[in-house]
Structure 1
Amino acid sequence: MRQRWGASLIAVSALVAFAQQAHADAPNHLLQAVGDPDDLTLNATIRSRVETIDGQFRPADAHHDTFVSLRTDIFAEYHPDIFLIGAELRDARGYGERKNSSVSPSDVNALEPLQVYVGLSLPNMGSDGSRTQVKVGRFTLALGSERLIGSPDYSDSVNSYTGILEDWRAKSGDRVVLFWTMPSTRLPSTSEDLHDNDPHLDLASPNVQFFGADLTKTHVLKDVSVEAYLYGLAEARSTTHPNKGRHLLTYGARVFRAHTIKELDFEIEAARQSGHERATSAATDRNSLPVVAYLAHAELGYSFALPWRPRLSLHADLATGNDANKNHITRFDTLYGATRTDFGPAGLYGPLTRSNIRSLGLRLEVAPSNRVSVFVMARALQLDSLTDSFASTGVQDKMGRSGSYAGTQIEEQVRYWVIPRLIQADFGAALLMKGEFLRNAPNVADKYDTKYIFTSIQFNL
């Protein structure tokens, strides 16, 4: 163990020295090393994070746990003239967690070819100054608010998709995205393989198909923008990777105004989900049920013309849960969305997701300098349905006798650029003060409040 930590310290010292030299020589030292060609994009990041949790909310996982993760990512894209050839390799490994840890494929994914694609980049298609990209192969995807399709930076591993993507962007900011894909199943998935950091290639299969369209129109009313989307998910039953056989259609819209000093900003998003799926992924469950579920988010903020550039914002969220009627499903499926922006850190933590939740939150953001940013946020948490499991905690009272108040979450994060654009440090914490539901539901294993702390350092090479 001492040798491992000693080697880690030597590696960190070497990276700091390398980054300092890179800062002195050029913004992108890697690209300069290969001659700085105009038709090549090349970058790499190395991030190490230490996180610890106490007072676990999940019924079956370790009550106390510590996890050390190391994520290495290198991305290259060769784009001569109108052609694109891109690849990204990510290596996400973890150490020190307990055998019954909550560590998942979102945290460990060793030696994964995250992106491998070819494509075209076509200028002035439809309007002057526009750019149309077409990609075929495996790629990552983030759309709109990322509540339904996201590529979160906090997670060490993210979703990839194999298929075809068309992404048109106008000079004004208007955007049209069309896609048909097979989402990857992240592997390994067993606790033993995750604990051993065993490399397993993520699996893309025609058994799961994800497709849709996303349109954004800017300046609809002065500086107000509108987004509309339609996403389809078709999932065939599988014996090797059990699933619920989801056939879902999710459609919605978002209206938003960007943050501006001395101006009110806002965001309103609503989505409806319909289709059919089974209640469980068990092979014996052959009864497909109709689905009708909803998502809503509203946010109102104001940026003050004061030192430290404070912004205060009020947030409201709703995602439906399953009601007591067993003949249909009303729990919203967040698809491939990211939760960090709205609901706090993931990793060992991550109790909140867009399923069976009602929440009101208040957030304060400040930036004491160009190198430092800080935010603090508090959220009151309730269940939408008393009989469904709350968000992603796995805590449930099928009789609905444990109340609707899940608790209050308080989180904070400080981000500091040790060397601008090259070395970034993050420090954060979250406190889940459990309410009556998270203390009294039948399968609660730990009644104490959940405390979570993390610190990370990232090198942009």
Structure 2
Amino acid sequence: MRIELDVISRFLHRLPFRSRPWLGAPLALAAAMIFALPAHAEGPPPRPPKDKLFALSATLRARYEAIDGQARAHFNRSDELVSFRTILTADYRPDPQVHLVAELWDSRVYGGNRGTPVSTGEVNTLEPAQLFVGVTLPGALGKGSKIDLQAGRFLLALGSRRLVAADEYRNTTNSSTGVRADLATPGGWKATLVYVLPQQRLPNDLDSLLDNDVALDRERFDLVLWGGLVTRAKTIAGAMAEIGFVHFGERDAPGRPTRDRSLDTFSGRLIRDPAPQTWDFELEGIVQRGTVSASLATNAPTQDVRAWFVHGDLGYSFAGPWKPRLALEYDHASGDRPGGRYSRFDPLLGMRRADLAPGALYNAILRSNFISPGVRLEAVPSAKTDLMVSYRPFWLAAREDAFSSTGVQDSSGRSGSFAGHQLDTRLRYSLTPTIRLEADVVMLAKGRFLREAPNAPPGSWTRYVSINTMLLF
């Protein structure tokens, strides 16, 4: 293992980052964690049986990340950050059909400064992210049916997770307070209904975030999400069909001006899961309607929203010991064009890592104002290792709007529409059932737009790397 760490260290020192004051710390931390814990037999992480009365679990993730040639406007060109995420979970099951869950999240960062893109996506200290009661009602809708109910504060993911998710890569999570109902019938029909108040993470000022200050999050009726999904298994060509609707509404609150978004988002999806020596596919279309204020000003005019997003992929899983899967992908998220209506797609609370790229210090890509075909290769070299390589070129859907989440914009449209080429790689390795390692490397060759737009950061390349160690108890 010491040889592997030396190889990683030499590789990182060859990358063109200007300074590495934090590099030794995460590597030493990862090594200390690995050698301090006893080895375990191979296999999946131990899970408490569902009939156990009370169970405690914990996870700790330590991450080192660095970036050079930042693509986002107004931040340090080069940066490094160390982050820690600790999750403590208690699950109490007084009855097979009733369970109570309490979960504490502690997310912190070190090494940032006022030019580092630190937000509530990175810092949220000592926060009770989940505190809910769940009840299962078998046979409530007839023989073979089931209803699962949740009430309280909980993590929420819907469907493809492109609109509502608890992003795993990010250092903090999306939590909500409300109710959820999941219905299932023996005929393959399922439905999910939710009414929640999304968590407003606190503190949210930069100085408090850099100091890892503690403040309890809040939920209010000035930020509401409700809606649901209906799915049916094996509907077309063995694929699951899904239709969904989500309403997202916000209004100003004391000390919290907003764009007063009132968005109705309709979605439809077909997905056939990967299987050996079989074609798989996914197609999802999303339409967004509603209103939004033109700015944060209280007297800002209201604009009608007409936005949309589409995702498609077609893959094939080959036979062989590595189980390779090759897929062609396409994503298109509308951007805002001149003319009065607001046409920039809003990804709401969706995840991004699974489809697009890492967040954290990189965080240049989300589902707004881009067109991107792509090719992806996934493989499982061993029971303990998996890897992914993805290539995507990016264009702006509307050249007058800011590109994705970079904040880079040319309102004249004269800087063109090509943003660049992105190569994204990920390697994950389970050293033991309770110790998992992950390395992510992203290279972005900036296109004309990201080089020439008026507020584009200097440089032709963005280089990002992260090293993650996760412990499960």
Question: Which TM class, normalised by the smaller chain length?
Answer: over 0.9
Distance change in 2, residues 1:24/1:55 (3 Å): closer
Alignment-derived partner of residue 73 in structure 2: 59
The alignment's TM-score, normalised by the length of structure 1, stands at: 0.92
**Map 1:374-453 → 2, pairs under 5 A:** 374-419=387-432, 421-453=433-465
| Equivalent of residue 190 in structure 1, options 199, 205, 230 | 205
8 A contact 1:28–1:43 mirrored in 2 = no
Alignment-derived partner of residue 347 in structure 2: 334
Alignment-derived partner of residue 306 in structure 2: 292
Residue 8 of structure 1, CA deviation: 9.7
Alignment-derived partner of residue 20 in structure 1: 39
Alignment-derived partner of residue 263 in structure 1: 278
Alignment-derived partner of residue 83 in structure 2: 69
Residue 445 of structure 1, CA deviation: 2.3
Show structure 1 runs of 5+ residues with no match.
none
SS state of the match for residue 192, structure 1? helix
Q: In the aligned structure 2, how far is the partner of 1:322 from the partner of 1:7? A: 41
SS state of the match for residue 151, structure 1? coil
**Map 1:147-166 → 2, pairs under 5 A:** 147-166=162-181
**Map 1:353-392 → 2, pairs under 5 A:** 353-392=366-405
1:272 aligns with 2:287: yes
8 A contact 1:431–1:449 mirrored in 2 = yes
What amino acid is the match of 2:389? Answer: V
What is the root-mean-square deviation of aligned Cα atoms in Å? 2.5
8 A contact 2:30–2:469 mirrored in 1 = no
Residue 175 of structure 1, CA deviation: 2.7
SS state of the match for residue 150, structure 1? coil
8 A contact 1:377–1:410 mirrored in 2 = yes
SS state of the match for residue 390, structure 1? coil
* Deviations 1:398-434, CA, capped at 9 Å, x for gaps: 1111101010110101100100x31110011001110
What is the percent sequence identity of the aligned residues? 36
SS state of the match for residue 185, structure 1? coil
SS state of the match for residue 342, structure 1? coil
8 A contact 1:59–1:446 mirrored in 2 = no
| Equivalent of residue 265 in structure 2, options 250, 253, 257 | 250
8 A contact 1:110–1:200 mirrored in 2 = yes
Q: In the aligned structure 1, how far is the partner of 2:361 from the partner of 2:186? A: 41
* Deviations 1:2-40, CA, capped at 9 Å, x for gaps: 9xx88995796467544536x6999549x69xxx96233
Residue 128 of structure 1, CA deviation: 4.3
8 A contact 1:65–1:98 mirrored in 2 = no
1:348 aligns with 2:361: yes
Q: In the aligned structure 2, how far is the partner of 1:6 from the partner of 1:50? A: 9
What amino acid is the match of 1:407? Answer: G
SS state of the match for residue 204, structure 1? coil
Q: In the aligned structure 1, how far is the partner of 2:466 from the partner of 2:72? A: 19
What amino acid is the match of 2:358? Answer: P
**Map 1:120-131 → 2, pairs under 5 A:** 120-131=135-146
* Deviations 1:245-290, CA, capped at 9 Å, x for gaps: 01110001000100011111000000100010112223342x1111
SS state of the match for residue 80, structure 1? strand
Distance change in 2, residues 1:19/1:211 (3 Å): farther
Q: In the aligned structure 1, how far is the partner of 2:296 from the partner of 2:279? A: 45
Distance change in 2, residues 1:202/1:369 (3 Å): same
Distance change in 2, residues 1:19/1:358 (3 Å): farther
* Deviations 1:356-390, CA, capped at 9 Å, x for gaps: 01001000111111111011000010000011000
What amino acid is the match of 1:440? Answer: E
Q: In the aligned structure 1, how far is the partner of 2:367 from the partner of 2:393? A: 15
Residue 236 of structure 1, CA deviation: 1.6
Show structure 2 runs of 5+ residues with no match.
1-20
What amino acid is the match of 1:354? Answer: R
SS state of the match for residue 354, structure 2? helix
1:231 aligns with 2:246: yes
Distance change in 2, residues 1:281/1:19 (3 Å): farther
What amino acid is the match of 1:275? Answer: G
* Deviations 1:335-370, CA, capped at 9 Å, x for gaps: 110000111111101111111010010001111111
